[in-house]
Amino acid sequence: MISVIKKFILSKLFGRKYYRTGKCNACGKCCTQIYVKHFRHVLCDEKEFEKLKYLHRFYTYLKVIGKDDTGLIFECTNLDKTTGKCKIHKKRPGICRRYPQEELFSMGGALSDNCGYKMEPIISFSDVLKKQRKKSLKTLFFN
């Protein structure tokens, strides 16, 4: 269970709506079928992607394996397809260490079925409902 302090820091200071639980079981699924979001848009253009390679070494690891309605689909060349493990695990970029983050959902992505992590809402649905009910009662009472 997430502590009240952690909840406060994540939601009020970092504007987060979810927190991560569980742990990685090294299935390697998140190293393939990747979308890349740059600023506010998901990459759809290979020429734009080529330019990004100069910005961060992570981009140099990626290769295009397809495209769909969301954007270009990438796979990391550091993924060992036989073992499903990262070939540069100890030196992997920060973005891989921090995975998964809630931005994944805003891009239309999802955790793979057997991912060992879960993203839990910081404020549960029932808490939101309780708050809304209290608000409606107050409005009725004071009007």
Which residues of the chain form contacts with ligand SF4 (CB under 6 A)?
24-31, 61, 76, 78-79, 86, 88, 92, 96, 99, 112, 115-117
Task: Give the nearest distance from C-beta 130 to ligand SF4 in angstroms.
Answer: 32
Task: Give the nearest distance from C-beta 53 to ligand SF4 in angstroms.
Answer: 14
Task: Give the nearest distance from C-beta 87 to ligand SF4 in angstroms.
Answer: 7
Complex with ligand SF4: residue 44 or 104, whichever CB lies closer:
104
Complex with ligand SF4: residue 41 or 57, whichever CB lies closer:
57
- Cα separations in angstroms, 7 against 4, 17, 29, 94, 127: 5, 9, 29, 23, 13
| CA pair distance 77, 54, nearest whole angstrom | 17
The alpha-carbon radius of gyration of the chain (Å, integer) is 19
Complex with ligand SF4: residue 81 or 134, whichever CB lies closer:
81
Complex with ligand SF4: residue 67 or 116, whichever CB lies closer:
116
Task: Give the nearest distance from C-beta 50 to ligand SF4 in angstroms.
Answer: 19
